[in-house]
Structure 1
Amino acid sequence: MIFKKALPRRTFLRGVGASLALPLLDAMVPAMTAQAATPAAPVRRLGFVFIPMGCDITRWTPAGTGTLGDLSPILSPLAKVKEHVTVLTNTELQNAYPGTHSSSNAAFLSAARPKHTESSDYYLGTTVDQIAAKQLGRETQLPSLELAMDMLQTAGQCDNGFACVYQNNLSWSSPTTPLPAEAHPRLVFESLFGDGGSKADRAAALRRRGSLLDFVKEDIADLGKTLGPADKAKVSEYLDAVRDVEQRIQRAAKAVADNPLPDLDRPVGVPASYADHARLMFDLQVLAWQGDVTRVITFQLARETSNRVYPETGVSDPHHPLSHHGNDPAKVAKMAKINQFHVSLFAEFVAKLKATKEGAGTLLDQSVVMYGSGMGNPNVHDHTNLPILVAGGSACGLKGGRHIRFEKVAPLANLHLTLLDKVGVRLDKFADSSGHMDGLFSL
């Protein structure tokens, strides 16, 4: 019998002021003959992507139920990955009423009713991602990662007497502890691969460094001597992805630095294009999961009441006013183009997870990602018939390529409870849940 010491799963390449977690390698599998061909224990990951202000549900909802056939106009960008996607129709957030933008954001992951206050005595509930992070985050560098696209957070009262904290933050580690999200890709990169310190310290350190990989090149060379051909290829592919993200961040920083016009509101390193910024933030999530730096991620793809304009869609109107469309067909059609654009960015993310190999499968197999909004019809600010879909998770038993329409309206908390269960976090109840979603996962 041949014994070989396995490389620990929590292996880092370390250099001066930097560390880099490695993806899952064959060398991390115990190498006794009885186990040599056995994949390492799968890692479960959970992600949430939030879109604001609901959508045009008529252009979102697929025709028919069961097998996901022809995709609706808004969901059409998912065509290449639809076998990994399940669309859920007829869910609600009862605790988000009375309907507001603040409660839409706040209840999305908590399924809780936010306390009506403009002051600092805000109160919500622990969000589903943080419940997962308490268990899944025990073995990772970061218990969870909170991301957003908007660089500035507002203060005071934002929406019908609700404090802005409810719109600013998706994740809450307790009913009184919101977790701010990071939108600056350079600082996200540093939090994943740097050695800590304040955000100001990390930003200053980045300016002094040419590249993270330069500090770990000796470890990379030493590691290469011990790995087989397949593992060498995986490490090379992973490091190429890190290098690509790093270079894109540096190019974005240079573009801003070379601009002769002062732009004090835009932190250095943020791509000027929303789409480029979003893609970079999604790529950082792929790296975070591939390196097992964290297993729980939330991403606010846009903020409630956002007046952002998306020139990529050909629509020149800001998003929020379009959401109050008054059933004007022209305005609804424009809003649907924005909805479709957001889905297209998510589809690219799902495709990258699918293309990233891990063990005998892919990152997408081991990851469950929920996408959607806490609002249904934005014109009336309701929280019923929400646009919700789930991607990935075949290793967790998720059946993709389906459209499930619940006969009776289902609390969104039932989905949260079900997703927690399938990534190994057992709860009897979450918020206003009434049970698990039968049929969503294979048994």
Structure 2
Amino acid sequence: MTSTTTTPPTTATTPSRPYTRRISPIERGYLNAAATGTPQLIQMVIEGEGTLDPDALRQAARAATLASPGLAVRRRGALWRADGPVPEVVELPADATPDTHPFFRRDLSVVTGPVCELGLIQGQSTKLAVRASHIVTDGRGLRQWIADLFRSLRGEEPAGCPDTVDDGHFRTMAGPVHPAPAATRLTGLPAVVGRGPAGERPLWLRRRVAAVPSGVTARAAAALSRHLATEEGRLIVPVDLRRHDPTVRSTANLTSQLVLGLHRDDSWKRIHSTLVRALIAKDEVAALERDFLRDNPFANNLSEARELDGSRFPCTAIISDHGEVDPRTYSTPAFRATSFATLPMLVPYAEMFLSACRVGVTTELTLSCRNRPGAREKAEELLTDMAEALGQ
């Protein structure tokens, strides 16, 4: 059942002084990717025991968005303005799953809004799916908003994310960095997961690993390296720019990227040390100095982006480690969260996207890739090897 209203959707702020910030270069990159027809979405799924009241969720969504209006923006020229609708709550059938229900596949418009919505599934267990446009937020930003959602459900005051800074602020706060190497167009690498034409829907596979090791990104990448179609691969690691100014509270998309080389049968310790050195050097900040239109290593315009036909990819995999998730953050007196996972999006220039998070004594892995002949079997094999690597 889909929730309906008899009044116009409420907005997050009053029209007199709306939250406004400029569209950043990072966000323009996601707008470009979305223009190829690939939805740019973050989807987080919380599962637990007990119940969540739909009307209480609607009230909590409004309270959380008043405190963090970046989740109710719409595009207004070169700006984001919080004059859009508050995230809606959609009540889904008890048997709805990401593989079967269109709710998990529909796009969110940054022009009309809403840019965020919630799907509530109440059956043998209760699941809350929170979906947001990755154009306007990132993993940290959305988790902050969800934390405020549950604060409101518990009768607490939301912490709020009112800041409007963009990546330029973090370039300043990071201090001096070495210039990034001259950008070169990254060549396509042969596909690893399946062959032949791909369907429009992503293939999502989850694996729960009974281990919480350090170096999750490097361990998973090393397992992947044993399946490369050639001697070389390429890894993208998202990096949260907020690390350069932890006082900033913002739901904006403040994630830059590190691009790392991968070798067949790579060592996780080598990958980990390479990643640590790049973080110490603040390479993700240096990359921001490049002009997006002229120096994009993946595609400089929509025509080039559309030429990525799915047989070769500049990037083998994106691996995003969301770190530790405390289930108590997403619990109420009537609902106890027991698991947290994401549904990674498809990216035009990356063959697959692996998301990881640690919940208690387990690590949740979710892999997304294009659904094509042989993809499910190969992706399951990859996840098995990654799970073994995390357990060692």
TM-score, normalised via structure 2 length = 0.29
In terms of fraction of residues, the more helix-rich structure is: 1
Structure ranking higher on relative contact order (CA contacts 8 Å, 6+ apart):
1
TM-score, normalised via structure 1 length = 0.27
Larger radius of gyration: 1
In terms of fraction of residues, the more strand-rich structure is: 2
